[in-house]
Amino acid sequence: MTDVTKTKSTSRRRFVTGLAAGGAATVAMPQVSRAQTVNWKFQSTWPTKDIFHEFAQDFANRVNEMAGNRLKLEVLAAGTVVPAFQLQDAVNAGILDGGHGVCAYWYGKNKAFSLFGTPPALGWDANSFLGWMKYGGGYELYNELVGSILKLNLVGFLTGPMPCQPLGWFKKEIKTADDFKGLKYRTVGLAADLMREMGAAVTILAGGEIVPALERGVIDGAEFNNPSSDSLLGFQDVSKVYMMRSFHQDAEAFEIIFNKAKFEALPAELKSIVRYAAESASSDMLWKALDRYSKDMEGLKAKGVTIIETPDAVLQAQLNAWTKVIDKLSADNAFFKKVVDSQKAWTKRTLAYERANTPPRAMAAAHFSKG
C-alpha cells in the first residue's frame, strides 16, 4: 500500500469514526433533554367537574405532548393550592408556575384588566376579540398593563373564544330593565359595573359559591357562563328560569398565565410550544363548546328548566348602560380609555367588512328548518 493510499484510508476511517461519533451524539441529545424535564404546577380557577377545568387540561395535554415531556404541566383544580381569586398572586409570587382563568377576576387591581376578558359589547364576538388581541394591538396593551403599569411577574396568553353568555338564572322571568332595580345579582368584572348601572345590587362570587348563595336567598339571580358549566354546578336544582342572550359578557375569552421569570428561562422551542398550544387549544375549545353546550341545553329542558330569550328592550338597556360605564371609566382611567379606543377602532373596521360580506344566517336556518 502506498503512502498516498494509506493516507486516504486513514482519512476515511477518521471520517467514518467522526460520523459515527456525531451520530451517537445526535441520538444522545434528546436523552439529555428528557433527563431535564421541567415540571410545573398549573392550577385552574375552576372546580374539577367544570368543563372549564377540562379546557385547562386540554391545553396542558397539548403542551405536554408537543414538548415530549421536556415541559410537563400538572393541572390542579381551584383551591388545590390557592382559592380561585388568588391565582394571579400565587403565579406572580412563584407559588404556582402557571394557571388558567379569566381576566375579569383581576379587575379589582385595575378595571382595565376586564377589558381583556369581558370587554364592552361593541358588536363583536369573542373570536373577533382574539383577533384584536393578536392583530389589533391588544397584546401590546395587555403587556403594558401587566408589565409596566402593574409590574407583575407574569406572561399571559388569551385563548378560547367563549360563546355569548346567558343573562343567567332567576327566581322569576326578567321582562323589563326595571326588574333589575334592587335585584341581588352575581356577576364579575366590568359586568358588575354594567349591572349596577342598571340598578342591580351586585355580589361577586367564585363559581362554586353561586348555587349555595341562590339556594339560601343571598342572591336573587346569577350568571356563570354556559349550559354545561351551569348544569354541572347545579343551577337547575335551585332555579327553573334560564334567560339566554345578553350583552353583559358577549365577547369573553380565557387567560393562561405563567410566572415570567420561569417562562423566560425556558428554551426558545418550549416557549413557542406554549404559545402555539394556546392558539391550538383556542380553536378546539370553541368546537367542543358548540357541541357540549347545545347538548346540555337540551338536557336542562328535559329537567324542567324554562329557556327564555332576553327581551330586546332589556338588551337595549344594557347597551345604554355600557355607554355610561365606558364614558365614566374612560374619564377616570387614561389607560382604560386607550384600550377601549383601540377596541372601537378594530370593531369599526372589521365589522364593516363582516356586515358587508356575511349573509343573514338566521334566514338560511329558517329556510332549512321549515317543516
> pLDDT tens across 31-48, in order?
334 447 899 999 999 999
Domain boundaries, the chain: 38-163+252-290, 168-249+307-358
Q: DSSP strand E in 45-191: where?
A: 71-76, 98-101, 154-161, 168-170, 184-186
CB-count exposure of residue 127 (10 Å: 0-12, 13-18, 19+)? middle
Single pTM value for the model: 0.87
* Residue 276 to residue 271: CA distance in whole angstroms: 9
User: Of 163, 197, 131, which Cα lies nearest the Cα of 287?
Assistant: 163
pLDDT block averages, 10 residues each, the chain of length 371: 45 42 39 66 95 97 94 97 96 98 93 94 96 98 98 98 95 95 93 95 88 93 94 94 96 97 97 97 96 96 96 97 97 97 98 94 90 54
> CATH class for domain 168-249+307-358?
alpha beta
Task: Give the model's pLDDT for residue 250.
Answer: 93
* Residue 67 to residue 71: CA distance in whole angstroms: 6
Fold of 38-163+252-290: D-Maltodextrin-Binding Protein; domain 2 (3.40.190)
Evaluate whether 89 touches 250 at the Cβ level (below 8 Å).
no
68 phi/psi in degrees, rounded to 5: 60, 30
Same fold, 38-163+252-290 and 168-249+307-358: yes
Distance of CA 331 to the CA centre of its chain: 28
Instruction: For 45-57, give one letter per residue: b (16+ CB within 10 A) or e.
Output: bbbeebbbbbbbb
Task: Give the model's pLDDT for residue 357.
Answer: 95
Evaluate whether 340 touches 115 at the Cβ level (below 8 Å).
yes
- Grid look-up 469514526 returns 17
* Residue 4 to residue 322: CA distance in whole angstroms: 88
Task: Give the model's pLDDT for residue 32.
Answer: 34
Task: Give the model's pLDDT for residue 162.
Answer: 95
